[in-house]
């Protein structure tokens, strides 16, 4: 089976609170999403990378992406939700991808995914019928809040993992699952709703999602430490 990647990058980044969508914020000298796409384009197993932009994206054309090479395809078909953007990206890739090929769906906002993590994901799921995702065991103690923001309960973190991306699934199963269960926050959610059990592939917290300004500084430190 071949490997392809889809990068939803059509979010507005409203939680970040910047003027510009967060994927274009400057990180270690270039737009955040450049790091994300470079990691995927450098992965030898991945043959093509579709980046799903918002139809009104006026930032993308302002940069030079040629350093990323020939694997990159841009499609302006972002949707209302992340799941819709992914579904639209899967539809755009239709003619190039077969039903049992692998699709790695990776957030534009996770620039620190490493070559080792991508290798582990592809290797550990190679014989799987459906697929799985990178994830990290939960490190913090989790509280459920009740009235007046008071603790109602402390949850056991036993067996709890934080889902990350890439999430890698067979194209056909993923496309059908997302079409049937569009109200999900990640691909695995749709796959689970369709009755499958995605495999968790262990990654670590360095594969962070840039959501708030403090995450950007941390991401920069992680990228710089890898260059040393």
Question: Measured from the CB of residue 92, what is the shortest distance to ligand C5P in angstroms?
Answer: 13
Question: Measured from the CB of residue 226, what is the shortest distance to ligand C5P in angstroms?
Answer: 21
Question: Measured from the CB of residue 79, what is the shortest distance to ligand C5P in angstroms?
Answer: 6
Question: Measured from the CB of residue 11, what is the shortest distance to ligand C5P in angstroms?
Answer: 3
**What phi and psi, each to the nearest 5 degrees, are found at residue 70?**
-90, -5
Nearer to ligand C5P, 61 or 148 (CB): 61
The 3-class secondary structure across 137-197, one letter per residue, is ECCCCEEEECHHHCEEEEECCCCCEEEEEEEEEEHHHHHHHHHHCCCCCCHHHHHHHCCCC
Ramachandran assignment for 125, one of left (phi > 0), alpha (psi -120 to 50 degrees), beta (any other): alpha
Counting Cβ atoms within 10 Å, is residue 31 exposed (0-12), middle (13-18) or buried (19+)?
buried
Nearer to ligand C5P, 78 or 132 (CB): 78
- Count CB atoms within 10 A of the CB of residue 203: 23
Nearer to ligand C5P, 137 or 182 (CB): 182
> Which residues bind to ligand C5P, rule: CB under 6 A?
8-11, 23, 52, 78-82, 85, 107-109, 209, 211
Nearer to ligand C5P, 2 or 28 (CB): 28
């Amino acid at each position: 089976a071949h490997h392809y990647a889809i990068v939803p990058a059509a979010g507005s980044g409203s939680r970040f609170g910047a003027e510009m969508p967060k994927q274009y914020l400057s990180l270690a000298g270039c737009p955040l999403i450049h790091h994300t796409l470079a990691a995927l384009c450098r992965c030898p197993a991945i043959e093509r990378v579709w980046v799903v932009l918002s139809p009104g994206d006026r930032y993308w054309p302002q940069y030079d992406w040629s350093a990323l090479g020939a694997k990159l395809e841009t499609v302006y078909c972002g949707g209302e939700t992340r799941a819709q953007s992914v579904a639209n990206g899967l539809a755009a890739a239709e003619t190039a991808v077969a039903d049992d090929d692998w699709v790695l769906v990776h957030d534009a906002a996770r620039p620190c995914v490493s070559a080792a993590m991508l290798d582990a994901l592809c290797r550990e799921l190679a014989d799987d019928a459906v697929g799985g995702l990178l994830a990290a065991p939960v490190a913090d103690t989790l509280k459920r809040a009740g009235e007046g923001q008071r603790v109602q309960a402390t949850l056991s973190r036993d067996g709890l993992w934080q889902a990350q991306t890439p999430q890698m699934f067979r194209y056909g199963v993923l496309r059908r699952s997302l079409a049937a269960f569009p109200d999900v926050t990640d691909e695995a959610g749709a796959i689970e709703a369709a009755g499958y059990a995605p495999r968790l592939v262990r990654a670590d917290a360095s594969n962070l999602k840039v959501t708030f300004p403090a995450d950007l500084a941390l991401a920069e430190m992680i990228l710089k430490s890898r260059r040393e």
